[in-house]
């Protein structure tokens, strides 16, 4: 049940000195020491706060009280929000008008129309508190305060001007004396005037109750200064239908601020925005700029040390987003989120999933294209990962666990004819598509067939197989046969006919592939002066000079003359490039340190990382 009460504003006898309307002050009476108190413009109101389930709301709550002309709907005539504390049953008592210096405006009750009071708690509708309540007759006694005024003006407005004789300590006197000072215009800023007797006093500031008030002045500090010495708000503004506070810095140049907030508290916030709505796209803080080079919202941590944060976003919702960056333009070189750090040891972006889920999910039109799980495994759709760099290394991966046979980079392709790892270098004769190095093991290992489309350079070569004599415990190596030319070797055994001759047929592509033929003949089981009777023509050659039925072992070599070989002859001896001079493929064989190796000339940054990693083991 709601209870209403008000102090009855009785008509007071007009006196020569009356206080300003609505001022909560007491004036001494020089004649009899009596005090004259202005009738308070407060309405005592009691009620009970309930939620939508009709259960009492216990504790501290922000409650908005509003006056209407209608029982439902209509326009708000007046309102204020108070922070109250209810008892165990949700009951409370307040003084309406306590949040305004002038209390409840008396003009609300001069029309003779009914007035309805609505009570709202947070986002709950007024109906949760039983709907609006019709004010009873007691508040209309506020109209009686007209007895204090004449034509709406205090009696002091009709006093004769005093002759101050140069004393300007009174607000009604000027420094030169004789004529009264002009009253301050409503809403105008005022200043203190110092008199010849060292006294100071402010000009009266007329603040109308029911009209807007503007403050205008030119100062070097502020026009209006508010000090709150208690635990409440320094300034509290409510506007149910529009913008509560509109702050405009109208200058077009210089570093000026529309709103600036400061706090000295270590746990405080210079500027705090809070949207209590539980539905819709509710913004706690919203920034907007019209400049083509503008920044809608900027945060700066000015301290030069410590773990500072320029902008921090926190979302407590189970489906929340801490920071949402979005560019709505459909053209141009736009960037959704940009991170930059200038420190040589800094990190431009750190992503930490403390819950153990995905560290990163990169999407295109809502479809995930790249993700990193809590274990650091990268999964990608289509192209696995593309990185670009204007420096030396676009992508670097390092497995630092010394206790496991780990992998720095692993590539797996499950698609038809896919490629697990792809490397490409496009610039310079020394560019390397894929480069591997190991100071203790293998720089590269292939388990399967290997295809090389191009020259293969090596310091040595061999085959390696399980030793046929002990395949379980030993390997067998054979070295390659080397030549300064691109030689092909062909051999066989021919049996001579009754004339001691034989014609050896070669593959049909033999002469298309080879040139500069060389021959070797060896008799088997005896000796005979065998020789090449006819050189290779039409892919065959003839052996003569032997005995009937004799076997002759033959060998023919040829130098490749196919199109690729003709375009890529192997130079036998070349000068080292300028950057590799003074460096060695195997510096240790010539008594030089490892840093004199050609790899240090080709990949200095990578080799430094390898060297440092080796030192830390």
Q: What is the pLDDT of residues 382-395, one digit of tens each?
A: 554 555 555 556 56
Write the pLDDT tens digit of every residue in 44-103.
Answer: 999 999 998 889 999 999 999 999 999 998 889 999 999 999 999 999 999 999 998 888
Which pLDDT tens digit goes with each residue over 566-585?
A: 999 999 999 999 999 999 99
- Tell me which of 15 and 410 has the higher pLDDT: 410
Q: What is the mean pLDDT of the chain?
A: 76
Q: Which of 42-51, 278-287, 357-366, 604-613: highest mean pLDDT? A: 42-51
Structure tokens at 198: 């060292």
Domains observed in the chain: 3-150 (no CATH), 349-386 (no CATH), 487-567 (2.60.40), 575-617 (no CATH)
- Most confidently modeled range among 167-181, 196-210, 334-348: 334-348
pLDDT at residue 246 tops 90:
no
Rg (CA), the chain: 49
| CB distance 511 to 536 below 8 Å | yes
Mean pLDDT along residues 518-533: 96
Q: How confident is the model at residue 396 (pLDDT cuts 50, 70, 90)?
A: low
pLDDT exceeds cutoff 60 at 512: yes
Please report which confidence band the pLDDT of residue 180 belongs to, taking 50, 70 and 90 as the band edges: very low
Please name every residue paired with 202 in a beta bridge, in sequence order, or none if there are none: 192
Q: Which pLDDT tens digit goes with each residue over 439-451? A: 677 878 888 888 8
pLDDT of amino acid 164: 46
Q: Confidence class of residue 271 from pLDDT cuts 50, 70 and 90?
A: confident
- Per the CB < 8 A criterion, the answer to whether 52 and 120 are in contact is no
**Whole-prediction pTM value?**
0.42
- Looking at the chain, the whole-number percentage of residues with pLDDT higher than 90 is 28
Residue 371 in contact with residue 381, Cβ under 8 Å?
no
Least confident stretch, 78-82, 106-110, 172-176, 480-484: 172-176
Per-residue model confidence (pLDDT) at position 285: 77
Lowest mean pLDDT among 179-183, 410-414, 421-425, 529-533: 179-183
Contact 259, 297 (CB under 8 A): no
Would you state the pLDDT for residue 340? 82
Q: How many CB atoms lie within 10 A of CB 433?
A: 9
Identify any residues that bridge with 541 across adjacent strands, giving them in sequence order.
504
Check whether 242 has a pLDDT greater than 80: no
Average pLDDT value for residue range 383-410: 63
Please give the average per-residue pLDDT across 496-509, as a whole number.
96
Q: Which of 196-200, 346-350, 416-420 has the lowest mean pLDDT?
A: 196-200
Q: Which two tokens stand for residue 106?
A: 């008396």
Q: What does the pLDDT look like over 547-571, one tens digit per residue?
A: 999 999 999 999 999 999 999 999 9
Mean pLDDT of 133-149: 61
CA-based max dimension of the chain? 165
Q: Which of 201, 205, 218 is nearest to 101 (CA)?
A: 205
Query: Is 479 in contact with 459 (CB distance < 8 Å)?
Result: no
């Amino acid at each position: 049940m709601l209870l209403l009460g008000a102090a009855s504003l009785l008509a007071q006898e007009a006196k020569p000195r009356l206080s300003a309307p609505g001022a909560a002050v007491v004036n001494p009476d020089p004649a009899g020491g009596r005090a004259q108190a202005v009738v308070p413009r407060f309405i005592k109101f009691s009620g009970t706060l309930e939620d939508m389930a009709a259960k009492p709301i216990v504790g501290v709550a922000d409650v908005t009280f509003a006056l209407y002309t209608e029982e439902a709907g209509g326009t708000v005539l007046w309102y204020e929000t108070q922070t109250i504390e209810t008892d165990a049953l949700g009951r409370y008592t307040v003084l309406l008008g306590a949040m305004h210096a002038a209390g409840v405006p008396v003009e609300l009750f001069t029309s003779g129309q009914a007035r309805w009071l609505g009570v709202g708690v947070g986002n709950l509708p007024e109906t949760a508190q039983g709907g609006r309540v019709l004010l009873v007759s007691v508040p209309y006694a506020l109209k009686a305060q007209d007895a204090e005024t004449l034509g709406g003006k205090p009696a002091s407005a009709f006093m004769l001007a005093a002759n101050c004789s140069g004393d300007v300590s009174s607000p009604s006197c000027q420094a030169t004396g004789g004529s009264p000072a002009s009253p301050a215009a409503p809403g105008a800023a005022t200043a203190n005037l110092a008199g010849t007797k060292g006294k100071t006093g402010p000009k009266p500031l007329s603040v109308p109750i029911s009209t807007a008030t503007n403050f205008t002045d030119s100062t070097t500090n502020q026009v209006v200064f508010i000090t709150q010495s208690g635990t409440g708000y320094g300034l509290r503004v409510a506007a149910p239908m529009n913008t509560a506070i509109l702050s405009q810095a109208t200058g077009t140049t210089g570093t000026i601020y529309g709103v600036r907030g400061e706090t000295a508290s270590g746990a405080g916030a210079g500027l705090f925005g809070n949207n209590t709505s539980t539905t819709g796209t509710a913004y706690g803080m919203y920034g907007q700029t019209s400049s083509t080079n503008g920044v809608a919202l900027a945060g700066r941590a000015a301290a030069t040390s410590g773990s500072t944060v320029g902008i921090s976003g926190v979302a407590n919702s189970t489906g929340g987003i801490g920071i949402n960056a979005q560019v709505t333009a459909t053209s141009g070189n736009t960037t959704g989120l940009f991170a930059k750090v200038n420190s040589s040891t800094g990190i431009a972006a750190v992503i930490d999933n403390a819950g153990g889920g995905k560290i990163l999910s990169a999407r295109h039109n809502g479809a995930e294209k790249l993700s990193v799980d809590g274990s650091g495994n990268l999964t990608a759709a289509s192209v696995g990962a593309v990185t670009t760099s204007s420096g030396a290394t676009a992508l670097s991966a390092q497995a630092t666990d010394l206790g496991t046979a780990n992998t720095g980079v692993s590539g797996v392709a499950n698609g038809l004819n896919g490629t697990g790892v792809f490397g490409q270098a496009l610039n310079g004769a020394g560019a390397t598509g894929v480069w591997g190095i190991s100071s203790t093991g293998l720089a590269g290992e292939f388990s399967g067939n290997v295809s090389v489309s191009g020259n293969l350079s090596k310091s040595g070569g061999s085959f390696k197989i399980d030793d046929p004599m002990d395949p379980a415990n030993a390997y067998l190596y054979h070295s390659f046969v080397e030549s300064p030319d691109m030689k092909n070797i062909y051999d066989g055994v021919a049996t001579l006919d009754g004339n001691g001759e034989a014609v050896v047929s070669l593959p049909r592509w033999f002469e298309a592939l080879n040139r500069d033929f060389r021959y070797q003949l060896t008799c088997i089981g005896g000796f005979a002066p065998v020789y090449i009777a006819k050189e290779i023509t039409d892919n065959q050659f003839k052996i003569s000079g032997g005995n009937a039925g004799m076997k002759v072992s033959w060998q023919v070599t040829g130098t490749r003359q196919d199109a690729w070989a003709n375009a890529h002859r192997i130079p036998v001896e070349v000068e080292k490039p300028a950057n590799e001079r003074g460096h060695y493929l195997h510096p240790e064989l010539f008594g030089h340190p490892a840093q004199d190796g050609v790899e240090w000339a080709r990949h200095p940054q990578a080799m430094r990382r390898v060297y440092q990693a080796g030192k830390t083991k």
